[in-house]
Amino acid sequence: MNRLKEIFAFSDEFPLIFTQADFWIFFTALYLIFPLIYKRIKLRNTYLLLVSLFFYYKTSGLFVGLLVFTTISNFYLGAGIFNARAKALKLSLLSLSVALNLFILSYFKYSYFIVDSLNYLFGTSYHVSHWLAEWGNSISNEGYFTVDKIILPIGISFYLFQTITYCVDIYHGKLKPLDSVAEFGLFVTFFPQLVAGPIVRAGEFIPQISKPTVISAADFNSGTFMILKGLLKKMIFADYLAMHFMDKVFDAPAMFSGFTNIMALFGYSLQIYGDFSGYTDIAIGLALLMGFRLPVNFNSPYKAQNTSDFWRRWHISLSSFLRDYLYIPLGGNRNATTATVVISVLILAGSILAFRDKTVGITISAAVIMFVSLALAFKGMRKHFVMNINIMLTMLIGGLWHGASWKFVIWGGLNGLGILTYKYWRRISPWEKSEHRAAVVWKIMLTFTFITFTRLYFRGESMEHIAAWYRQVADNMDWSSALQVLYQYRIVFVIMLFGYITHWLPVRTRESIENLWAKSPLALKGIIAVITGIVCYQAYSASFQPFIYFQF
């Protein structure tokens, strides 16, 4: 009886995630029932909706109520946008949808960031009131919510972006609204990608909802292969390396040499790729086993030969979302809009807050204002400014999407500078069009190193930790202990090397491995799956290791 209660109760210590044995028990039970209902489309959709809501409840508890609210409200707002005859009414309903979604996101994700910034700027002492928690506790009588702190619901950035794309696409006539709230609910809550993406466009997923389920042998083979590959990435290349090396270094960078800090940073590049792409691989595999297709979210990002190419390969669903729903509406590379000016002013004002010494912030802001004034005063400079400002704003906002902290804004800004630098460098680079192997390897390594060093602002616990990292690299490289470090963490570095080698394998080699899996007898597949599971869980920690992108 107690075990039955555990199955249906939420535990914040043991949420239902892909790396937990309970999840695979859950999916097995789901999959045993699936053949009985998959031919009846409405029944299948309702079943998957209920399963997805249960899954979210097991990962986020009563925040499932927030998910249901946003789903229902955006369903009816989408219908209202479509049925409204007056363009002004359509625009008003779209604005309401976007404002509602952004308000919810801002409240849960950015409240402390905004209030702390305002308090620092104006010397006030405002505090954040968690009125939703107080209201929730009043109706549940269980003290479920932590009143003194706003908790970020898992996956909120992902599912709110999906609801925004739905309403925006209806407004622009690219999509007709769904007739059933249950079908729309399935689009928003489909559990494989609900909590960490990929961000699914309505136009990509909704047509699949009304089609019969077809699961071919190729889908089954590809799905199972993706799941096993994702588990290996997450549990070996991400969690094992993090627990045994990277977390120790980043928690106290001043305690380690500069060499060790640099190795930890390169290790983190593998960790975050293994963690996030591992989740995506599992999500795509699970969806294939149920007859659905999710978009590819990664395309060998560390093979990119420049920063622009990297962002076409990394977190593709977010990059394309920012391009289509932010960069292009801002004016793209053609012109600057009113929104461009407003966002620029807000970010410029915020730059003052990024520094404890207000004099530094004001000085930087003054320099930026002077540069912009000169750019607008001269026609030649004005053209380049207008062409590039929206790229920079998009990357800055993309950084802020990842976290409510100025270090994420800096991370986004560095990536924006990388894109703009390449944009002009390629015009004079003697290697830009070279296909010589040495030139290609050089461009890949240069891009990979740049991306890795920007991640210091992504992974660093705080600006103080980041400053300590720089101090160790500048003043305490301690090359004499390098061999000792390599030996002490030899298993970590062997796995790290193997992880990067597998990433840089040619596409045809990867395809050959997947073809071998597809052609293998079912019994052999089962043996390989069992061995993979044993290896993963033997290397796994007893402690809960969430996916990194759950926090976004």
Q: Are 245 and 492 in contact (CB under 8 A)?
A: yes
* Four-residue CA torsion sign, 252, 255, 258, 261: negative
**Who contacts 449 (Cβ-Cβ below 8 Å, separation ≥6)?**
none
CA distance 127 to 111: 9
CA distance 361 to 92: 37
Residue 76 confidence (pLDDT) above 60: yes
**Who contacts 135 (Cβ-Cβ below 8 Å, separation ≥6)?**
none
Which amino acid, 505? L
The helix/strand count (H/E) of the chain reads as: 26, 0
Closest CA to 348 of 396, 411, 382, 398: 396
pLDDT value for 303: 96
pLDDT value for 351: 63
CA distance 211 to 85: 30
**Who contacts 368 (Cβ-Cβ below 8 Å, separation ≥6)?**
348, 351
What angle, rounded to 10 degrees, do the helices at 258-289 and 463-475 form? Answer: 130
CA distance 529 to 397: 41
The pLDDT confidence band at residue 97, using thresholds 50, 70 and 90, is very high
DSSP H helices in 84-201: 87-122, 131-140, 156-171, 181-189
**Who contacts 365 (Cβ-Cβ below 8 Å, separation ≥6)?**
348, 349, 351, 352
Residue 125 confidence (pLDDT) above 90: no
DSSP secondary structure, 410-426, as one string: HHHHHHHHHHHHHHHHT
What SS3 state is found at 357? Answer: coil
Q: How many other C-beta atoms lie within 10 A of the C-beta of residue 399? A: 24
Q: Say if residue 85 is exposed, middle or buried (CB neighbours under 10 Å; 0-12, 13-18, 19+).
A: exposed
Please compute the mean of the pLDDT values over residues 545-550 and round it to a whole number: 64
Task: Give the phi and the psi of residue 507 in degrees, each rounded to 5.
Answer: -60, -40
CA distance 411 to 457: 6
pLDDT value for 445: 96
CA distance 419 to 18: 34
pLDDT value for 14: 73
Q: What is the pTM of this model?
A: 0.90
Among 124-128, 289-293, 510-514, the minimum mean pLDDT is found in 124-128
Please compute the mean of the pLDDT values over residues 374-388 and round it to a whole number: 69
CA distance 529 to 28: 15
CA distance 280 to 301: 14
What SS3 state is found at 215? Answer: coil
Q: What is the DSSP letter of 19?
A: T
Closest CA to 27 of 172, 147, 192: 192
315: Cα within 13 Å, side-chain hemisphere: 20
* Four-residue CA torsion sign, 261, 419, 440, 272: positive
Residue 548 confidence (pLDDT) above 90: no
CA distance 343 to 332: 14
CA distance 541 to 197: 25
The CA distances from residue 40 to 5, 37, 207, 209, in Å, are 31, 6, 16, 12
At which residue do the structure tokens 């997923």 appear?
A: 205
The pLDDT confidence band at residue 376, using thresholds 50, 70 and 90, is low
pLDDT value for 333: 74
Closest CA to 423 of 513, 308, 548: 308
Which residue did the predictor score with more confidence, 534 or 118? 534
Which residue did the predictor score with more confidence, 521 or 551? 521
pLDDT value for 379: 66
pLDDT value for 436: 86
Cα distance from N-terminal residue to C-terminal residue, the chain: 36
Residue 412 confidence (pLDDT) above 70: yes
Which residue did the predictor score with more confidence, 148 or 410? 410
pLDDT value for 133: 65
Q: How far does Cα 445 stand from its chain's mean position?
A: 24
What SS3 state is found at 217? Answer: helix
Please compute the mean of the pLDDT values over residues 55-79 and round it to a whole number: 93
Which residue did the predictor score with more confidence, 543 or 85? 85
CA distance 110 to 401: 10
**Who contacts 24 (Cβ-Cβ below 8 Å, separation ≥6)?**
none
Which amino acid, 331? G
Share of the chain above pLDDT 90, in %: 57
Average pLDDT in the chain: 86
Q: Which two tokens stand for residue 41?
A: 């489309």
Q: How many other C-beta atoms lie within 10 A of the C-beta of residue 182? A: 17
CA distance 426 to 443: 11
Which residue did the predictor score with more confidence, 429 or 491? 491
Residue 305 confidence (pLDDT) above 60: yes
